[in-house]
Structure 1
Amino acid sequence: MNLNFDPKAKKASATGPTSEKVLSVHHWTDRLFSFRITRPSGFRFRSGEFVMIGLQGEKKPLMRAYSIASPNWDEELEFFSIKVPDGPLTSRLQKIQPGDEVMLNRKSVGTLVHDALTPGRNLYLFSTGTGFAPFASIIRDPETYEKFERVVVTHTCRDVAELGYSKQIVDETLNHEFLGELVEGKLFYYDSVTREDYHRTGRITTLIENGDLAEFVGDKTFDPEVDRGMICGSTEMINDTKEILEKAGLTEGSNAKPAEFVIEKAFVG
């Protein structure tokens, strides 16, 4: 496993999509699946960015924005997707098998990157559903732990089974032969569900407002001097969490103007 990719290296000059081979597919539930594809030579991205991927249509490729779930040093590309029965792309994409071909645009973009945040001490990664995907990349990036002393990744789903992907990614990161020592005592996983009995139930916004998250981290939340945030998930969750952070004094940032928190506005359909 190569940890020497340079995420800031010049990206491939070609902008047209390439055809990449599906390497593996894992169906987590009847609503969620992940898959890995080959990574084209020269393809560079910053952990947390998204890229257009898709399948060949009758006349042209059908492409949608997907966050890259693999870290920028990985030799393969990983994605985490919802299954939409009547979705133009996902209704077909959920049926892919190893050996099939997937179209990949060469240009990656996005706001859920280190460069869009000002320096801080604590990084909060708020996600629901497949919104965990960019954070699967970020928590496996060594740069994250060079910039922050503590990384708290939250994942809220409807059912316990839907937490399977994030649980596995966090567990693999904590036990990784290279990353394990780096993330020890720095990476914290805060999960919850909304429709089943579990050790923690409720929307992330509710758990913030009732003090449960603060109790979990053992600290006051949120201080614009030291706390930074990234948000990715449903529109309602993004808007509500954004409001909470803004009330605490944090300002939304971007690649052009870094600040205390950022949100992702790309969705898959």
Structure 2
Amino acid sequence: MAAPAPQTVIEVRHWTDRLFSFKTTRDMSFRFENGQFVMIGLPVNGRPLLRAYSLVSANHEECLEFFSIKVPDGPLTSRLQQIKVGDHVLVGGKPTGTLVQAALTPGKRLYLVSTGTGIAPFLSVIKDPQVYERFEMVVLIHGCRFVKELEFGRLSVEAVRSDEYLSEIIGDRLIYYPTVTREEFVRKGRVTQLLESGTFAEETGLPLLNPAEDRVMICGSPAVLQDMCALMDRLGFEEGALSKPGSYVIEKAFVER
């Protein structure tokens, strides 16, 4: 594995008492596919303490961006949430992950189903022009506990839609569907329930999930991964991988620490 290299923090933003995002510089030699994750961290007691983090930034952008939760006693996040502009963060040199287009067979619609910071890789995916060449429609579903936790994702989607270059490619083919579970909002409920009950289809006018036409990427909490995989299996979807593309893929390396 390539040794992690220090990158300079160029932006930090705290969204809630549990969530923050940050941007770092990027080595010109650093290459990745949209949807992948990389090991990042800090030196602790003279040794690198690393965790897997999805890349929010697209592979055509000049900087790297990450979205993280704050765990008071977390070995890494308790330290990482203290970073400031000018500090250094270690970034591994070997991105990887299953949330890439090559792990899916061709389809009509691409569903990106996320909860919490699991939206991170999909904010990279929706900035990929090739995704819109391959799929007629891209649907980003994001579930959080509270409305304020949706803010980073919402603003990121708005930035993509207003981008001078991407907006012409995307048009009206990107659907953003946020939901919360613990307070009143225009939409309330768990993502799996909204999909399985038909509520999502009713509200968007899209057909029910269908393995013949739809492809699904999933990134979220262990409970969401378990429930979504069960739903995929019931509907006849087949899990894919780079070695054998399928109709849905999940990311198990979603960072919670």
Please report how far the alpha carbon of residue 144 of structure 1 lies from its aligned counterpart in structure 2 after TM superposition.
0.8
Please report how far the alpha carbon of residue 93 of structure 1 lies from its aligned counterpart in structure 2 after TM superposition.
0.2
CA distance in 2, matches of 1:243, 1:151: 22
The answer to whether the aligner puts 1:74 opposite 2:61 as a matched pair is yes
The answer to whether the aligner puts 1:97 opposite 2:81 as a matched pair is no
Corresponding residue of 1:130: 117
- SS at 2:93's partner residue? strand
Corresponding residue of 2:163: 176
CA distance in 1, matches of 2:139, 2:31: 26
CA distance in 1, matches of 2:179, 2:135: 24
CA deviations 1:108-161 (Å, max 9, x no partner) are 000000000000010000000000000010001111101100000000000000
Corresponding residue of 1:8: none
Q: Tell me, yes or no, if the aligned pair for 2:11 and 2:23 is still in contact at 8 Å.
A: yes
Q: Tell me, yes or no, if the aligned pair for 2:219 and 2:254 is still in contact at 8 Å.
A: no
Letter of the 2:23 counterpart: R
Work out which of the residue numbers 202, 216, 228 in structure 2 matches 1:229.
Answer: 216
Work out which of the residue numbers 43, 49, 64 in structure 1 matches 2:30.
Answer: 43
Corresponding residue of 2:42: 55
The answer to whether the aligner puts 1:154 opposite 2:106 as a matched pair is no
The answer to whether the aligner puts 1:26 opposite 2:47 as a matched pair is no
- SS at 1:108's partner residue? coil
Please report how far the alpha carbon of residue 216 of structure 1 lies from its aligned counterpart in structure 2 after TM superposition.
2.8
5 Å-filtered alignment, 1:192-231, equals 192-231=179-218
TM superposition outliers: structure 1 runs of 4+ over 6 Å: none
Note the residue ranges of structure 1 that are not aligned, 5 or more in a row: 1-13
- SS at 2:33's partner residue? coil
Letter of the 1:242 counterpart: C
5 Å-filtered alignment, 1:107-126, equals 107-126=94-113
TM-score with structure 1 setting the length:
0.94
CA deviations 1:56-115 (Å, max 9, x no partner) are 110310000000010110000000000000000000000100000000110000000000
Note the residue ranges of structure 2 that are not aligned, 5 or more in a row: none
Corresponding residue of 2:238: 251
Please report how far the alpha carbon of residue 245 of structure 1 lies from its aligned counterpart in structure 2 after TM superposition.
1.5
CA distance in 2, matches of 1:21, 1:137: 20
The answer to whether the aligner puts 1:265 opposite 2:252 as a matched pair is yes
CA distance in 1, matches of 2:195, 2:254: 24
CA distance in 2, matches of 1:78, 1:131: 14
CA distance in 1, matches of 2:206, 2:99: 24
CA distance in 2, matches of 1:29, 1:219: 33
Q: Tell me, yes or no, if the aligned pair for 2:118 and 2:254 is still in contact at 8 Å.
A: no
Please report how far the alpha carbon of residue 181 of structure 1 lies from its aligned counterpart in structure 2 after TM superposition.
1.3
CA distance in 2, matches of 1:101, 1:228: 38
CA deviations 1:213-254 (Å, max 9, x no partner) are 111331322111110000000000011011111111110001
Please report how far the alpha carbon of residue 208 of structure 1 lies from its aligned counterpart in structure 2 after TM superposition.
1.1
Letter of the 2:165 counterpart: F
Aligned-residue sequence identity (percent) comes to: 52
Please report how far the alpha carbon of residue 211 of structure 1 lies from its aligned counterpart in structure 2 after TM superposition.
1.1
